[in-house]
């Protein structure tokens, strides 16, 4: 069977409508329509959808499906439809020619053609071999009897289901991952199953002895017979399978024998073509074989001496391959693998090396009554292996620690208790656990989806579990990572997780980004205009959308838009921080955290004059005067103004403070004048309204006394210049900054600061701090806008400075002079009339 | 019989805003003006944690408390949505461009 791409192969440009043109693009022929072959094509299309003409040969009669999900199909939990990765529409949409049920039987490297079993000869420019692996059939008498099958493709599953319909006894040879899944499925389908395993313990490559024993006991509890150390001598039967005889003479009757002892890379095609073949087809870091025009990927390859039989390395290989095919050579560096599986509801996880050895130390936790066993292998303060049984929730975390080679000396005591404890919380907060995972931590093992990819998918608009599954396939297969994906959704979207499209609030069907875009596109000038043109469903919005709209208009129209006081939160309207008793606290600005006797006297006088019950030094190096009544605010401000102080904006979604250390002027370690730079930075940025509060710090040396690496914008002075850091915050979820870049001069540090601030002002959503914003758009994007694009950075800086002209009037002075006195003074009853 | 107190004109209160007024030894009263110039008066205390409702964002016929964003209906004083609680209301009338509120002790029971 063969089908071609879309019925009218029209190019997008439309300049040759209806006329099929000869496709002159390089022809990529893929041998193998399995997970590796198709994933490689997907990765390629993601990078450059137009570069290659693609033809895929498949030996099976199916479209591309998820082979590792055959177990749930066997177990009756899924149908074949459920495990299809790419349906026919995908091939059509990408104009990929799919040739099914016709395996390639030979490669003619001299002519650059492949010849299929049915006699098709097709030329290639690049050939990709993705033939996967073949099941290993142990060479015992009776291995070819009808009723002896392997567990590799849909055909095998159909054969097992057919046998299960007749009931009876089944023998599974092989107590590895595949064999146990086959045994589980057949048990669920009603067969009496015996598992024969030649090694002393089950899954010896993934599990240590203790975990294997727990697994064996549990499977026996579910009705399976597990024989370890069982060496098969013969499969006997007359015309069809009747049973298996072991070398010790034991006979086990069976009408079905599933051979699942292992797989071997499928290399015959490559070997016959004269390619360099070891255990697998030898490839370099870009998955190129000994013939430069031929690539290979997946289970059929041998890279750096390693052959992989798990799915995760395959994703890594496909990325490297696609990078290579699109001239962005990244190179495959080998994979560290982990195994996470669920058999009959039993959670098993293993990763890395747990065989022990010199310098390895085991940390073990056993909870016999709950059937939990955990073992983490540590070597030189790093996690090198982990085996979990019964509770695998922390598997991803251990694997992440292992892959990153993180030093665990500090958390070693708590390591075995899992991420929640080791991170210091104690309470189990699954969201915090997910938040702590790195971006490249794998979330969905079935489909090879990392946390970063899930987040990217959500940022592109997926705001429900279904949308994420459709968008990036995370949790779309076995579903064991559904909880993780839901937590990522919650973390990324906050309260906005929903089934429909994400809207700004219940007053509108538009999202923040849509509203913002329309404000600019339609040149809207006021909140009522926005509400009118965008069909707000409420007369004057709500306390969520009004402050957001006010900010978006303010940002878009500096100097033109008239700020709507009634759309400000109380603190921004009152220019002070409301406290629980309805009084306010007042924080005068102290540039860079510097003060002087005059300011301190004025503050002391205010405290006494207005009987403020408390004065406190803040975390941002300011003084906070508490307990001021709203009626007294203008008078307090007048007094502070008189001493030269202005509003500290401690109350605003705005630039709060620039925190500094003393720097080279005084400190024996200081490398630059951090205090002076802090003052300059604050003079430049004060008064600017932002999507959320914005904090800056300048540290004079890498000792970082000003804590610049947990600020929205942090400058760390070094001998040779200034390191610029962005996107940090303290708070509930502490986030350390990303390094933006390093600059040589103070002026550059100021320029980059202005540009970054403006980018954040223009593109972050209201109430989104820099940390979640950067996690949403990616630090690479920020670097591209601020570091790589000189003209763009200069334009951002100019827009910021232009906007600042209108922002740096002290709001306190205005109020002290009587503007908006109605906000501070009560009405006075005038007369009373009785009726 | 109700004692009506003249507290000023519509222009004294900003649209979608509020002013407070003290009458005798009673609790402070918040007088709200909506976007469509209706006037409402409530005791200036959120039923939740006594936040000053006069400082909240007025939207439609509700005000969002500045402390914890409870939404209070201006007409009934009832907390909206999931929140439960009620703030006493005070009768108001507009006559000849002036705003009159009922003397609170006369209306407390009714509220």
CA distance B108 to chain A (A): 17
Note whether residue A165 is domain-resident: yes
Shared domain for A607 and A662, answered yes or no, is no
Phi, psi at B37, each rounded to 5°: 65, 25
Let me know whether A87 and A200 are in one domain: no
Label residues A144-177 b or e (16+ Cβ within 10 Å = b).
ebebbbbbbbbebbebbeebbeeeebbbbbbbbb
The per-residue pLDDT for A496 is: 61
Domain-located, residue A825: no
- What's the rounded Cα separation, in Å, for the pair A442 and A484? 10
Give the alpha-carbon dihedral of A330, A132, A43, A469, to 10 degrees: -130
Backbone φ, ψ for residue A58 (5° rounding): -125, 140
ipTM of the complex: 0.89
Smallest Cβ distance to A829: which of B21, B55, B60? B21
Whole-angstrom Cα distance, residue A32 to residue A54? 12
Q: Is residue A71 part of a domain?
A: yes
pLDDT tens profile A17-40: 333 456 788 999 999 999 999 999
pLDDT at position A341: 65
Instruction: Say whether both A198 and A321 belong to one domain.
Output: no
CATH number of A181's domain: 3.50.50.60
Judge residue A79's burial from the number of C-beta atoms within 10 Å of its C-beta, 0-12 exposed, 13-18 middle, 19 or more buried: exposed
What six digits make up the tokens of B49?
Answer: 């944690």
- A358 with A401, same domain: the answer is yes
Three-class HEC string of A98-115: EECCCCEEEEECCCCEEE
pLDDT on residue A302: 94
Alpha-carbon gap: B33 to the closest alpha carbon of chain A (Å)? 11
Highest mean pLDDT among A308-317, A555-564, B76-85 belongs to A555-564
On whether both A295 and A398 belong to a single domain, the answer is no
**Residue A647 φ/ψ, nearest 5 degrees:** -55, 135
Spell out which chain B residues touch chain A, with contact meaning CB-CB distance below 8 angstroms: 1-8, 12-17, 19-23, 28, 31, 35-36, 49-52, 55-60, 64, 66-67, 69, 71, 100, 103
Identify the CATH number of the domain in which residue A446 sits.
Answer: 3.30.390.30
Angle of the A451-459 helix axis to the A770-777 helix axis, nearest 10: 100
Of A573, A831, A835, the CB nearest to B1: A835
- Boundaries of domain holding A694: 655-804
A410 is a domain residue: yes
A545 shares its domain with A578 = no
Q: In this structure, what token pair is assigned to residue A478? A: 């076995």
Query: Which H or E run contains A339?
Result: strand A338-343
**Paired tokens of A522:** 């339609």
Question: Do A350 and A486 belong to one domain?
Answer: yes
* pLDDT 10s digits, A126-156: 999 999 999 888 899 999 999 999 998 999 9
Q: Which residue of B has its CA nearest to A545?
A: B59
Residue B75: count of CB within 10 angstroms of its CB? 12
Cα–Cα dist A580/B67, whole Å:
7
Q: Does the predicted model carry a pTM greater than 0.95?
A: no
Q: Are A559 and A805 in contact (CB under 8 A)?
A: yes
Quote the minimal CA–CA distance from A672 to chain B in Å: 43
Q: Do A578 and B23 touch (CB under 8 A)?
A: no
| Nearest-10 crossing angle of helices A770-777, A746-763 | 80
- Answer yes or no: is pLDDT of A348 > 90: no
- Residue at A93 is within a domain: yes
According to the CATH classification, is domain B4-103 in 1.10.287.3510? no
Specify the pLDDT at position A13.
Answer: 37
The total number of structural domains in chain A stands at: 6
* H-helix or E-strand spanning residue A761: helix A746-763
| Cross-chain Cβ contact A832/B57 below 8 Å | no
Q: What is the pLDDT of residues A82-125, one digit of tens each?
A: 888 888 889 998 999 999 999 999 999 999 999 999 999 999 99
What residues of chain A lie within 8 A of the CB of B28, using their CB? 826
CA atoms of A520 and A25, how far apart (whole Å): 41
Contacts of B88 (CB under 8 A, 6+ apart): B42, B43, B77, B107, B108, B111
Of B8, B16, B52, the CB nearest to A827: B8
Is A539–B60 a contact, with Cβ atoms under 8 angstroms apart?
yes
Q: For tokens 């009726």, what's the residue?
A: A835
A612-650 pLDDT, tens digit per residue, is: 999 999 999 999 999 999 999 999 999 999 999 999 999
CB-based contact A717:A699 (threshold 8 Å): yes
Domain positions in chain B are 4-103
Residues A49 and A25 grouped into a single domain: yes
CB contact under 8 A, A578 and B66: yes
**A238 and A277 share a domain?**
no
Rounded to whole angstroms, how far apart are CA atoms A451 and A438?
A: 7
* Rounded distance between C-alpha atoms, residue A357 and residue A127, angstroms: 43
Q: Give pLDDT tens digits for A531-547.
A: 888 888 888 889 999 99
SS3 A280: coil
Same domain, A587 and A674: no
Residues whose CB falls within 8 Å of the CB of residue A357, separated by 6 or more in sequence, listed in order:
none
Establish if A457 belongs to a structural domain.
yes
Give the three-state DSSP class for A525. coil
Q: Which residues of A touch B12 (CB under 8 A)?
A: 822, 827
pLDDT of residue A344: 57
Q: Tell me how many degrees the CA angle A305-A307-A312 measures, rounded to the nearest 5.
A: 125
* Tokens describing residue A788: 């790589």
- Are A390 and A469 part of one and the same domain? yes
Q: Are residues A606 and A632 in the same domain?
A: yes
Closest CA to A198 of A177, A174, A182: A174
Least confident of A392-401, A517-526, A780-789, B72-81: A392-401
């Amino acid at each position: 069977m063969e089908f071609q791409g879309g019925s009218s192969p029209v190019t997008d440009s439309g300049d040759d409508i209806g006329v099929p043109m000869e496709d002159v693009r390089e022809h990529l022929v893929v041998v193998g329509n399995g997970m590796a072959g198709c994933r490689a094509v997907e990765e390629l299309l993601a990078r450059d959808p137009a570069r290659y003409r693609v033809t895929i040969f498949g030996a099976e009669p199916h479209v591309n499906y998820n082979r590792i999900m055959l177990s749930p199909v066997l177990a009756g939990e899924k149908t074949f439809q459920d495990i299809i990765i790419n349906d026919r529409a995908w091939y059509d949409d990408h104009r990929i020619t799919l040739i099914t049920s016709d395996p390639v039987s030979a490669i003619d490297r001299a002519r650059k053609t492949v010849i299929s079993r049915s006699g098709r000869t097709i030329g290639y420019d690049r050939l990709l071999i993705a033939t996967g692996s073949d099941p290993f059939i142990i060479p015992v008498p009776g291995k070819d009897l009808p009723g002896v099958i392997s567990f590799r493709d849909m055909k095998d599953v159909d054969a097992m289901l057919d046998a299960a319909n007749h009931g009876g006894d089944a023998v599974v040879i092989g107590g590895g991952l595949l064999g146990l899944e086959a045994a589980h499925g057949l048990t669920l389908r009603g067969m009496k199953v015996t598992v024969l395993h030649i090694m002393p313990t089950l899954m010896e490559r993934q599990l240590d002895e203790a975990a294997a024993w727990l697994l064996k006991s549990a499977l026996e509890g579910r009705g399976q017979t597990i024989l370890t150390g069982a060496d098969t001598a013969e499969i006997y039967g007359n015309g069809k399978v009747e049973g298996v005889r072991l070398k010790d003479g034991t006979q086990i009757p069976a009408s079905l024998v599933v051979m699942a002892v292992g797989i071997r890379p499928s290399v015959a095609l490559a070997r016959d073509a004269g390619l360099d073949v070891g255990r697998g087809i030898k490839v370099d870091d870009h998955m190129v074989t000994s013939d430069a025009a031929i690539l290979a990927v997946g289970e059929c390859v041998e890279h750096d001496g390693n052959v992989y039989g798990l799915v995760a390395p395959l994703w890594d290989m496909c990325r490297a391959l696609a990078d290579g095919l699109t001239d962005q050579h990244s190179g495959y560096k080998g994979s560290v693998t982990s195994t996470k599986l669920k058999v009959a509801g039993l959670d098993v996880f293993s990763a890395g090396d747990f065989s022990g050895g010199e310098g390895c130390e085991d940390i073990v936790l056993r909870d016999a009554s709950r059937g939990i066993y955990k073992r983490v292998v540590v070597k030189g303060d790093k996690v090198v292996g982990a085996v979990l049984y019964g509770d695998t929730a922390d598997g991803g975390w251990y694997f992440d620690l292992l892959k990153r080679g993180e030093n665990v000396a500090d958390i070693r005591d708590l390591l075995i208790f899992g991420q929640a404890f080791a991170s210091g919380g104690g309470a189990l907060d699954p969201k915090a656990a997910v938040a702590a995972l790195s971006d490249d931590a794998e979330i969905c093992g079935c489909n090879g989806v990392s946390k970063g990819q899930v987040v990217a998918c959500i940022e592109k608009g997926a705001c429900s579990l279904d949308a994420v599954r459709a968008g990036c396939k995370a949790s779309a297969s076995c579903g064991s990572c559904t909880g993780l994906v839901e937590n990522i959704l919650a973390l990324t979207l906050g309260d906005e997780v929903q089934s429909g499209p994400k809207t700004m609030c219940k007053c509108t069907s538009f999202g923040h980004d849509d509203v913002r875009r329309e404000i600019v596109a339609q040149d809207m000038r006021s909140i009522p205009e926005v509400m009118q043109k965008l069909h707000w469903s409420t007369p004057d919005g709500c306390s969520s959308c009004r402050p957001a709209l006010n900010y978006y208009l303010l940002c878009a129209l500096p100097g033109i838009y008239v700020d709507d006081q009634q759309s400000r939160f109380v603190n921004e309207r009152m220019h002070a921080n409301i406290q629980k008793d309805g009084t306010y606290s007042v924080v005068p600005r102290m540039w860079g955290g510097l003060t002087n006797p005059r300011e301190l006297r004025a503050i002391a006088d205010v405290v006494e004059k207005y009987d403020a019950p408390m004065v406190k030094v803040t975390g941002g190096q300011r003084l906070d005067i508490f307990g001021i009544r709203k009626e007294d605010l203008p008078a307090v401000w007048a007094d502070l103004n008189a001493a030269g102080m202005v509003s500290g904006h401690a109350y605003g979604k705005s630039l709060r403070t620039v925190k500094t250390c003393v720097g080279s002027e005084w400190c024996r370690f200081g490398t630059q004048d951090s205090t002076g730079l802090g003052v300059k930075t604050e003079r430049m940025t004060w008064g600017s309204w932002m999507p959320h509060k914005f904090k800056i710090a300048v540290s004079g040396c890498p000792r970082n006394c000003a804590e610049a690496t947990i600020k929205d914008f942090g400058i760390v002075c070094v001998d040779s210049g200034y390191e610029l850091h962005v996107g940090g915050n303290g708070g509930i979820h502490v986030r350390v900054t990303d390094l933006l870049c390093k600059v040589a001069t103070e002026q550059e540090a100021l320029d980059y600061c202005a540009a970054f601030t403006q980018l954040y002002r223009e593109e972050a959503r209201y109430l989104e701090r820099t940390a979640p914003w950067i996690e949403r758009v990616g630090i690479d994007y920020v670097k591209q806008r601020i570091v790589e694009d000189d003209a763009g950075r200069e334009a951002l800086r100019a827009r910021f400075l232009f906007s600042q002209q209108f922002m740096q009037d002290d709001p306190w002075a205005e109020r002290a002079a009587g503007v908006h006195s109605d906000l501070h003074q009560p009405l006075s009853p005038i007369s009373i009339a009785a009726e | 019989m109700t004692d009506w107190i003249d507290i000023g004109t519509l222009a004294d209160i900003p649209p979608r805003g509020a002013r407070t007024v003290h009458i005798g030894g009673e609790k402070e009263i918040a007088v709200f003006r909506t976007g469509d110039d209706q006037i409402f008066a409530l005791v200036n205390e959120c039923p939740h944690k006594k936040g000053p409702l006069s400082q909240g964002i007025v939207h439609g016929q509700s005000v969002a408390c500045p402390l914890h964003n409870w939404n209070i209906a201006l007409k009934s004083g009832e907390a909206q949505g999931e929140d439960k609680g009620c703030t006493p209301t005070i009768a108001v009338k507009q006559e000849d461009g002036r705003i009159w509120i009922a003397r609170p002790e006369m209306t407390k029971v009714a509220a």
